[in-house]
């Protein structure tokens, strides 16, 4: 199993308590009490559901944007980041048929996806996982995991509202918004 693969395992146990699950577009996911994030391929025997994805190379970011991101962003696991969101997304076939330059234009020049994300750094930490080319038919194309302090919850909601109002989001055909809180040890 690749060291870049992560499994998001929902069920009765896990380090994160699921507080809310909203189907923003398309079908919902079955409800569950807890979520565990596992390096590698999570065994899903007792799981309600398992989503898998890989960290990978940048698909749209330029050198200048990458430097801005690296300068501002902070990592996962900060003690104050007791809130999290797991947001799996599937984009339409029309999106994937677009050539690279048109996807970039929609994502950044027209939707400011990268610049919008930058404005919420370092408050919101994130890790993007790709699922579209895993070899198995996956229900989503991407899974993003976000962590932030409770005081940043309203800001995080604004970030999502901004992104969902963009031309890029017209290509999102399935999206589930899962909110979590770190469970007491």
Binding residues vs its own copies (CB under 8 A):
1-5, 41, 52, 54, 56-63, 65-66, 96-102, 104, 130, 132-137
DSSP lists the bridge partners of residue 142 as: 89, 130
The dihedral sign for the CA sequence 28, 30, 35, 39? negative
Long-range Cβ contact pairs of 97-101 (< 8 A, separation 24 or more): none
Residue 7, number of CB atoms within 10 A of its CB: 21
CB 105 within 8 A of CB 140: no
Nearer to its own copies, 34 or 126 (CB): 126
Minimal distance, residue 121 CB to its own copies, in Å = 17
Q: What is the DSSP letter of 184?
A: P
Nearer to its own copies, 91 or 179 (CB): 91
CA–CA separation, 20 vs 17, rounded Å? 9
Minimal distance, residue 17 CB to its own copies, in Å = 28
Minimal distance, residue 63 CB to its own copies, in Å = 5
CA–CA separation, 23 vs 175, rounded Å? 6
Q: Which helix (H) or strand (E) holds 144?
A: strand 142-148
Minimal distance, residue 133 CB to its own copies, in Å = 4
Nearer to its own copies, 30 or 57 (CB): 57
Nearer to its own copies, 49 or 60 (CB): 60
Q: How far is CA 80 from the centre of its chain?
A: 20
Nearer to its own copies, 54 or 123 (CB): 54
Minimal distance, residue 100 CB to its own copies, in Å = 5
């Amino acid at each position: 199993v690749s060291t870049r693969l992560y499994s998001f395992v929902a069920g009765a146990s896990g380090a994160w308590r699921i507080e809310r699950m909203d189907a923003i577009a398309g079908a919902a996911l079955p409800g569950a009490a807890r979520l565990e994030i596992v390096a590698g391929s999570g065994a899903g025997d007792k799981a309600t559901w398992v989503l898998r994805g890989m960290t990978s190379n940048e698909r749209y970011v330029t050198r200048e944007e990458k430097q801005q991101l690296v300068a501002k962003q902070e990592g996962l696991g900060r003690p104050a980041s007791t809130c999290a969101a797991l947001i799996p997304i599937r984009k339409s076939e029309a999106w994937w048929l677009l050539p690279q330059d048109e996807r970039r234009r929609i994502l950044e020049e027209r939707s400011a996806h990268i610049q919008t994300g930058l404005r919420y750094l370092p408050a919101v930490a994130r890790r993007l996982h790709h699922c579209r080319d895993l070899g198995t038919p996956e229900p989503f194309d991407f899974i993003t995991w976000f962590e932030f302090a409770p005081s940043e919850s309203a800001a995080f909601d604004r970030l999502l509202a901004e992104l969902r109002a963009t031309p890029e989001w017209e290509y999102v055909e399935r999206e589930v918004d899962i909110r979590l809180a770190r469970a007491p040890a």
